[in-house]
Structure 1
């Protein structure tokens, strides 16, 4: 990979180029990414095509200084890490809903990263509220993180609330738990970026996808809290979990928040279409 896209990406993150692809450097890049590059689905509601190609993803991250959802964020992060000398594999996952049911195949993209010091990590900068730092891939005990208490456990037919049928696990699958609740079921077979195109298309077009039914733009704040703009509702979450909400009344306010709090410059406010007609 050419050095220019890597340097542009590091510049956006405010990070220096690491001397070696170490675990310590990965932790710093992971946290900086979550603080700087928002998890957002604005493209879905702005009529922008989502293309899972490395150059297009890097252009979106560094050229237009946007964010994205999991396929874009982790896809771009994988390209950055590979350019820095890390060994990166793309892994597919299916996300659990509130009732413990699993989503579609290729529902989520996460990363397995091997470092120069011999460690293997689960890196994920594209799941919204999740771990602030990579999780030790081989560890099966609890892992404390500013984002919660995480565990990676071997998945079985009855693991972590799976309901059987199409939710049964394959050999080697892992359930990723946060504070005791299953977040997603991770396959351990490496994939390529193009494998996720159908999932990205479904999430950006299907009326059953939560991405087509809502607007979200969210990032971790410098103090370890979170700021989220969901439609016109601005939510600030403190590190202790306390929340403050404010409704934005005008388009000018919305565009100002996108620009000032998320670094995203838009010329119009994205809206969620009314499925019954109109906007």
Structure 2
């Protein structure tokens, strides 16, 4: 049986997304869990698929996913799936005033800032996963609370506050990563994730780059710079664009001819 690795432990939104992706693609695979994005990429060397969060509608792109995807050769996004994300605060205390410490995963906290802004007395213990937050609270229930996915809430807690995320429409986009790019796509409208690394920095570089997309009538949905890490002030550009697959080769050739840069495809997906 094939294997897929994702963020664990079991019970996380990553597991839910992985199961949904496997079902959509009609694939059967054993799900393996790792505690961090770095460990997931390491384990991916031994497995067939990798499922990771790429972007949250409140907190933005998952930068570590982008950086490791770029630093590894021949890893490609072939499918995406967005799922709704809701969080609850659970505690054995009867009110927020009695809670002193909250266990919360770092990305989860960033999606619930408006709620926590109301309670200046709280101290936060940052965890690696939402399940770990719950387990730490259960081991240390006195004057503590945990922020957990709503589907993990039980009736054992004295205090449950649902929907503490900043936006009720909160979503996270997960991606399926493989070691080869799907060459033939039946979808008409695709998303493409590129990394552009200019070889020479000069005035007007970004202007010329964006002009190329406008000339080809291509919708650029996002652009983000990330440091190359070998020297201060040098950057990669991560771009996500909407494109028909038949136009991809033409676009890449035009970019190479007009601007001195290295181009890497990180995914073609829908």
TM-score normalised by structure 1 residue count: 0.22
The higher relative CO (CA closer than 8 Å, separation ≥ 6) is in: 2
Question: Which of the pair has more CA radius of gyration?
Answer: 2
Q: TM-score, normalised by structure 2?
A: 0.23
Identify the structure with the greater strand proportion.
Answer: 2
